[in-house]
């Protein structure tokens, strides 16, 4: 008998009803195309909800924006929907939240940060350099301020990816600890019932955290974009 050496192997079963899980994943991902894109002149209920969801997201993320950021609306909205979907799916039983790993969050944050900064230096090089020295800085402090602003600039993608992964990991860890305590103390109703109530409230809170963190990630990307364009 061969055991799976990966500590996350329990979250990824290889087969389901003797069918590889990869096939289920591909079919499930492609099935969204049947619901998102209308096949007749009258949209279905799901398509109406999806259109309202998109308009709400666009209004929420781009409420304080400029015409120059309009071409980025599709990309930022797609990133928001992707992060929100992964965060919500990670709350299902026997599921694993991929956005709790910095390998994924940095894979999203660093390329987006580099793209908006490269574009900003390309469009307005002198203006971007002027941001390294705040207005009214004494001449003696200019070299120090340049170093501080440069470090803060390169700290943006680190904070962008780490914030998302840390918040989700902390919430999932609390859910795991409380659910374990409830399971071990299930025989004692006086203790298990309050723990179960706390678990339900924490789970609801974690759903809100999953939505808020997706919004915070995309809102920061949009903020960085506004600074550079």
* pLDDT tens across the length of the chain (229 residues): 344 445 455 445 556 566 666 676 667 667 666 666 666 666 677 777 777 777 777 777 777 767 777 778 778 888 888 888 888 888 877 777 888 888 888 888 899 888 888 888 887 777 777 777 777 777 777 778 778 888 888 888 888 888 888 888 888 888 888 888 888 888 888 888 888 898 899 989 998 888 889 888 988 888 888 877 7
pTM: 0.73
> Which pLDDT value is given to residue 7?
46
Query: How far is it, in rounded angstroms, from Cα 202 to Cα 42?
Result: 40
Which two three-digit tokens encode residue 202?
């924490």
- Looking at residue 1, what is its pLDDT? 39
Q: What is the pLDDT of residue 29?
A: 64
Give the CA distances from residue 13 to residues 95, 130, 163, 169, in Å, rounded to whole numbers and listed in that order: 10, 53, 29, 22
Strand ranges (E), the chain: 15-16, 19-20
Whether residue 94 contacts residue 11, with contact meaning beta carbons closer than 8 Å, is answered with yes
- The pLDDT score that the predictor gives to residue 17 is 61
Contacts of 96 (CB under 8 A, 6+ apart): 8, 11, 12, 90
Q: Please state, in angstroms and as integers, the Cα–Cα distance from residue 229 to each residue in 72, 101, 119, 121, 127, following that order.
A: 11, 30, 8, 9, 10
What is the predicted pLDDT for the residue at 68?
73
Q: Let me know: does 210 contact 88? Beta carbons within 8 Å.
A: yes
* Pair of tokens at residue 200: 């339900």
């Amino acid at each position: 008998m061969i055991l799976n050496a990966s500590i996350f192997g329990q979250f990824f079963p290889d087969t389901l009803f003797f069918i590889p899980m990869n096939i289920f994943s591909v079919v499930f991902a492609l099935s969204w195309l049947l619901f998102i894109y209308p096949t007749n002149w009258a949209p279905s209920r799901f398509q109406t909800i999806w259109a309202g969801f998109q308009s709400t997201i666009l209004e929420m993320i781009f409420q304080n924006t400029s015409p120059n950021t309009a071409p980025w609306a599709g990309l930022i909205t797609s990133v928001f929907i992707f992060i929100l979907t992964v965060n919500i799916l990670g709350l299902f039983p026997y599921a694993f939240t991929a956005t709790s790993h910095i390998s994924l969050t940095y894979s999203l944050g660093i390329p987006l940060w580099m793209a908006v900064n490269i574009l900003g230096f390309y469009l307005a090089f002198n203006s971007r350099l002027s941001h390294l020295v705040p207005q009214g800085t004494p001449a003696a402090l200019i070299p120090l301020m340049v170093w501080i602003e440069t470090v803060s600039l390169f700290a943006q993608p680190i904070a962008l990816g780490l914030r998302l992964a840390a918040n989700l990991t902390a919430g999932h860890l609390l859910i795991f600890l409380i659910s374990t305590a409830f399971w071990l103390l299930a025989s004692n109703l006086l203790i298990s019932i309050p723990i179960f109530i706390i678990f339900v409230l924490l789970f609801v809170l974690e759903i809100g955290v999953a939505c808020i963190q997706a919004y915070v990630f995309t809102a920061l990307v949009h903020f960085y974009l506004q600074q550079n364009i």
